[in-house]
Each structure stands twice: as structure tokens, then as C-alpha cells.
Amino acid sequence: MQIRDRIKELRRVRAGDLQPHPKNWRTHPDSQRDALRGVLADIGYADALLVREGDDGLLELIDGHLRAETTPDALVPVLVLDVSADEADKILLTHDPLAAMAGADRQRVGDLVESCDFEHPQVVEMLDQLEKDLNQSAWPSDDEANRPEVDIPELYQVVIECEGEHEQEQVYQRMRKEGYRCRVLTL
């Protein structure tokens, strides 16, 4: 498979100058905003925002809306992508859901939580919730994702649609007389 590199350049841009994507579908609860502020305070920017350059020369956000909103006066790293408006829509739609499909190794998450100290209570609260979700199986673990499939024996069945209960009873009786194992289902 030939994979194209769509990154044109890395720029530092004032976050407030970036144009939000008009089709951005993500919402951000206060708990997420608070946790992001805590991570930015503890660590800073460690990831680039994704943008495309519009026909008017303005940079339109594809990913990183909350970071841009949170730090409007900061010079932030942006990856300028060589994508059309339609391709930007596709990235906007799939970027976060694709990341959300990842499983989690509960032990490694627990080890990381134990080994990292965060100053901001919002980040600690977010990580506590992550551990709680993992322990309640809100996320599939790698163990669950790699379980062998259950061996289900082959069954050959025929479903017959009937006009009503009376016809269903007649078909059932006829099939039983012919030696078939039958079940009556009403869907």
C-alpha cells in the first residue's frame, strides 16, 4: 500500500488566529477543560494541532480545537496539512474515534499512574476515572481483545415467514411430522 505524507510543514502560530472548523462535532465538558489546563500547566504542549490552509490563506483547525481555545494567546505548534476541504472533513470525523478504538493494558496503566505525580487535582481526578473505567471494563483490555474465538458448531436453519399464528402452527406440525427439530419463534 502506498501511503502519502500529507504534512507540508510545522509552524508556530498564535492559537487565537486559527479558525475553528465549522463542522467540528466534538464537545468538551468542564472536566475535560480542567484536566487539559492541568496537563498544559504540568507538561506544556507536547503535540501539534492539525490545520489546513484555506483559499483565503487562513489556517483552519482540523484537530486541537480545545487546546486552541484554552491558550488563545500562546504560540502553538501546528502541522499544516496538504488536504482538501473534503479530506479535512474525513480527518475531523475519524481522528478521535480511531484513537478511541485502542485497547488498554490495565497493569501498565496502573503502573504509570503510580509512577507519575501531577500537581493539578483535575489531572489526578481524570486518571482516577481512567483506572475506575478500566477496572469496570469500560475499555477492552488487550487480554480481552486477544481472546481466542469460541468454537460454535455449525447449525443449518431455515426461517419460514407465516401470515399468522394459525399458519405458523400448521407449518410447525407438518415439519415435526417429517422429522425435523423445530422451534416456534415470534419476532
Mean pLDDT over 118-130 rounds to: 91
- The tens digit of pLDDT for each residue in 39-83 reads 999 999 999 999 999 999 999 999 999 999 999 999 999 999 999
Query: How high is the pLDDT of residue 173?
Result: 87
Residues 32 and 96 in one domain: yes
Domain coverage including residue 23: 7-101
User: What is the pLDDT confidence band of residue 185, given thresholds at 50, 70 and 90?
Assistant: confident
pLDDT at 160: 86
**Domain shared by 109 and 175, yes or no:** no
Distance CA 187, CA 183 (A): 13
Q: Mean of the pLDDT values across residues 4-9?
A: 96
CA distances from 164 to 175, 185, 186 (A): 17, 12, 10
pLDDT category, 143, cuts 50, 70, 90? low
- Both 27 and 95 in one domain: the answer is yes
With respect to residue 133, please indicate whether it lies within any of the assigned structural domains.
yes
Q: pLDDT category, 148, cuts 50, 70, 90? A: low
pLDDT band at 140 (very low <50, low <70, confident <90, very high): low
CATH number at residue 47: 3.90.1530.10
Does one domain contain both 51 and 71?
yes
Q: What is the pTM of this model?
A: 0.71
In the chain, the largest separation of any two C-alpha atoms, in whole Å, equals 81
For a pLDDT cut of 90, what percent of the chain falls above it?
59
User: Is-contact 184 168, C-beta < 8 A?
Assistant: yes
Residue-level pLDDT at 54: 93
Indicate whether 123 and 179 sit together in one domain.
Answer: no
Examine the domain organization and report whether 11 and 78 are in the same domain: yes
pLDDT at 11: 97
Give the span between the Cα atoms of 131 and 128, in whole angstroms: 5
Is residue 57 included in any domain, yes or no? Answer: yes
Q: Are residues 88 and 36 in the same domain?
A: yes
Indicate whether 97 and 28 sit together in one domain. yes
Are residues 119 and 40 part of one domain?
no
Is the confidence at residue 139, as pLDDT, over 70? no
Residue 80: name the closest of 9, 6, 4 by CA.
9
Does residue 2 lie within any of the structural domains? no
Q: Is residue 149 part of a domain?
A: no
